[in-house]
Structure 1
């Protein structure tokens, strides 16, 4: 934008120097504001970009080169920037995505025109036009391809280009005519700036391609077969699985039917692991994993079957002679949407994984089952316990253990703005709820300027490299992503609906880290207090010095206690009730 080709010697006399200077100063001021001011609102973003395009169009017209062909290219670029400004005015109501499209296309078209016009230039000015146009084209493509980053970066890009343009115009206005005509350094300084911009653009493109290649993608195993039975819990497909499976174990990944909600059929995938040496049916540990993301590629069986969902005790499960059944949940691996922190979809995924695993005749699974879950999986485990008596009454659920469960959803959402990277978890929640519930919308609960960030983050996995870029972009904004208090209206109602408040007939263990920075202890205390008041028996244990993930790491005191508690459940011993 704005690095109009042609040497100084070939410029027309043009308008008075005072006009050129004023336009140059305006370009520097608007560009500097765009490049340094975080976008606090869509209105400010629109205003600054609108001003930037207007100044760019005027700058092209006050700096027309000699020669009809070069003049036509300059006028064409001015027209592109003017049309961009007009489109911003007309599309204001279309939201920030429209802004990104307009700016991206404007940079793209302006850059192409600049590159095309370079054919008419000579020497250093040809390189100026080529590099300036190429960088503008690449930045335009990046804006269109990477909208969550673009919402912040796009202003910086346009701003820097305007500063360079304005500085050139001011320089032209204040230099003596003879020095302007014969000066040697101006074109070379511009060349240096354009070269730096081109290098940055190429690096950003390479980084973008690298991050996209790093995004996990499900293979053909997760594709639905041509004929799918309506009955939930049916095993559709299985195959041996070897990724990070110990030598003394056998494993299969499975594809099975389930229900997202009552009467809404769906598919889910999962993993079954059993010890090679076993005699007779073995007990089942049904694992509900913690947050890995909300997109199909975020399934633990796609990324990492155990570390992705914070399951670090497979060796101990196998050593006790137990089998492992872990669901990916609906929408992870299989087609979404993923019911993130939506109890019905999560709990049914767990129960139907147990049903499907029993159809693996080579696995030798017995009827006794204990459900474990952590974080999001703790929420799923609690809902599994609530749903089991009515949804899968044939299953023998001996106990439910929920570690740092996301049980108190309103409190969790209230706390996320205080968590570093909490916007990522917030994006998973709001995306899942807007997809599931018609009365929860992005427009009502997410600021317009943050909507592209939230939508894009929701499609990235927790461990995906590009997620760091999304989080950094979110942190660069000086306002929360929410449009007001999220705990209001329909969203608050839906969050309360998904608190696992139903009675759990099986013995219940809840473990909580005293220093958990994500699922804070006060929120868990309030949930347990409510369950005790409702007559639910709970064995509630708090572990000092443990944060969210460290609670389930191998050296955590919660792990041996979980194993002992599970052994007691399988032995039929009476559970402890800490409700008093």
Structure 2
């Protein structure tokens, strides 16, 4: 659910507690909130960034290992310092997980008020293969799909960028694709981790802007909803989310059997990875099992090409439709339908002090392409309306493109809008 390219230039495609932790040759003492953070040198081997230890540290945002890197897939030849990082986060049931990502800081002096702002960025759909990790693509190790223009624009504006790969790109793992809490946590935690990277020069009290499109748009909006309860120490001042698949049931119905059915296959695999207690592998037939393994090996272009036209009913022994799959129960009586509904954005939200489940203390920007052919516009519009109805200041904008081009059309507007929020300008929205 995002843009794809096979060349540098973007072109639309039709598409725990533990006493110590040994990481990258260093012994890092465990610590609790409020204790001094351990010192981690940024000279880890590349493999160490993508290898999970037996147990991740329990403090969200802790830097586990890091290494300096170059970002040849960020256009503009911007002087910067950049690092690959592995950091600690929390999964959807509260367990600690290690996650990979990228931190980049312009070498130019920050001349704005206060500390240099941080843009916490979540890419759109990359694919489930371990080679697809955003940090690997930015570093030029693999080239399939990336959002280098987004990163470039933020860096040119003088902002630091903390871009998460999302959970599940470490060796032997599966990305929990479209799992809302997993995504929101990993984005907030890389904002926590960025100032802890040795040599970054970033301030832990710097203003943070969240940003993402498509899968990334859902992730950044989930981060916005979770910020007050999960990361009150992170100074989030704004969120920009585009092409948002707000209601996965609406999206799944539109994708099933269509040209972008690969996104639905990834969603099945990702949600199963995030909810291992739910029936999945055991209901798959030979075609389904083959599809699962293939999906786990592919990046975006391959996912679209290999699964175009596939229907969910082809994957299970009982030829289950989406609605029939939603009715299946896990061991605790929870149905797949309930799991999917929990990923819906815009429910239980309200402004600061409202007492809502998800209090949002900052404005959001939402945007979409007028001719979006991947995410049904009805759910994008409904998410925007839910935010307006909840009285969360919301800036809404549409662009004359489809799903694959609208994000690029919005880049300069998003960076300018985030800049206004970093400068403290009030946003009342245009609901």
Please give the range of the TM-score, normalised by the shorter of the 2 chains.
0.7 to 0.9
Q: Out of 399, 403, 418, which is 1:543 matched to?
A: 399
Aligned to 1:568: 420
TM-score, length-scaled by structure 2: 0.75
Deviation at 1:295, TM superposition (A): 3.5
Residue equivalent to 1:303: 137
The counterpart of 1:517, out of the listed 373, 376, 386, is: 373
- Structure with the largest fraction of strand: 2
Q: Match for residue 294 of structure 1?
A: 128
Query: How many Å separate the matches in 1 of 2:191 and 2:312?
Result: 46
Shift of 1:439: 3.0
> CA distance change for structure 1 residues 256 and 323 in 2, over 3 Å: closer, same or farther?
same
1:429 aligns with 2:267: yes
How far 1:431 moved relative to its partner? 1.1
Does structure 1 retain, via aligned residues, the 8 Å contact 2:71–2:82?
no
Q: Indicate the SS of the match to 2:175.
A: coil
The one of 82, 88, 101 equivalent to 1:251 is: 82
Equivalent in 237, 246, 254 of residue 407 of structure 1: 246
What is the match of residue 346 of structure 1?
Answer: 183
Shift of 1:443: 5.2
CA contact (8 A) 2:51 2:171 kept: yes
Q: Distance in 2 between matches of 1:253 and 1:368?
A: 22
CA contact (8 A) 2:218 2:244 kept: yes
The separation in 1 between residues aligned to 2:79 and 2:398, in whole angstroms, is 34
Does the C-alpha gap of structure 1 residues 237 and 479 become closer, same or farther in structure 2, counting only changes over 3 Å? closer
Query: Could you tell me which residue of structure 2 aligns to residue 328 of structure 1?
Result: 165
Partner residue of 2:4?
Answer: none
Secondary structure (helix, strand or coil) at the match of 1:277 reads coil
Task: Answer yes or no: is the 8 Å Cα contact 2:263–2:304 preserved in 1.
Answer: no
Higher Cα Rg: structure 1 or 2?
1
Bigger mean CA offset, 533-542 vs 263-272: 533-542
- Alpha-carbon distance in structure 2 between the residues aligned to 1:220 and 1:299: 14
Which secondary structure state, in structure 2, belongs to the residue aligned with residue 499 of structure 1?
coil
Structure that is richer in helix per residue: 1
Q: TM-score, normalised by structure 1?
A: 0.56
Question: 1:469/1:340 Cα in 2 relative to 1: closer, same or farther (>3 Å)?
Answer: closer
Deviation for aligned residue 1:484: 3.8
Partner of 2:407: 552
* 1:302 counterpart SS class: helix
Gaps of 5+ in 2: 1-45, 328-334, 350-359
- Rounded to whole Å, the distance in 2 between the matches of 1:384 and 1:249 is 26
1:498 corresponds, among 314, 334, 343, to: 343
2: CA distance between counterparts of 1:354 and 1:219?
A: 23
Equivalent pair of 1:410/1:496 in contact (CA under 8 Å):
yes
State how 1:148-547 maps to structure 2 within 5 Å.
219-225=47-53, 228-244=56-72, 246=77, 248-279=79-110, 281-304=115-138, 308-333=145-170, 335-366=172-203, 367-417=206-256, 419-422=258-261, 424-437=262-275, 438-442=277-281, 448=285, 450-463=287-300, 467=303, 470-471=306-307, 481=315, 483-487=319-323, 488-489=326-327, 490-500=335-345, 501-503=347-349, 504-544=360-400, 546-547=401-402
In structure 1, distance between residues paired with 2:179 and 2:55: 27
Q: Which has the higher contact order (CA 8 A, sep 6+)?
A: 2
Deviation, structure 1 residue 237: 1.0
2:267 aligns to what SS in structure 1?
helix
Q: Runs of 5+ in structure 1 lacking a partner?
A: 1-217
Instruction: Compute the RMSD of aligned alpha carbons.
Output: 2.6
Rounded to whole Å, the distance in 1 between the matches of 2:55 and 2:220 is: 30
Kindly tell me: are residues 371 and 429 of structure 1, through their superposed partners in 2, closer, same or farther at Cα, counting changes over 3 Å? Answer: same
Distance 1:440 1:531 in 2: 33
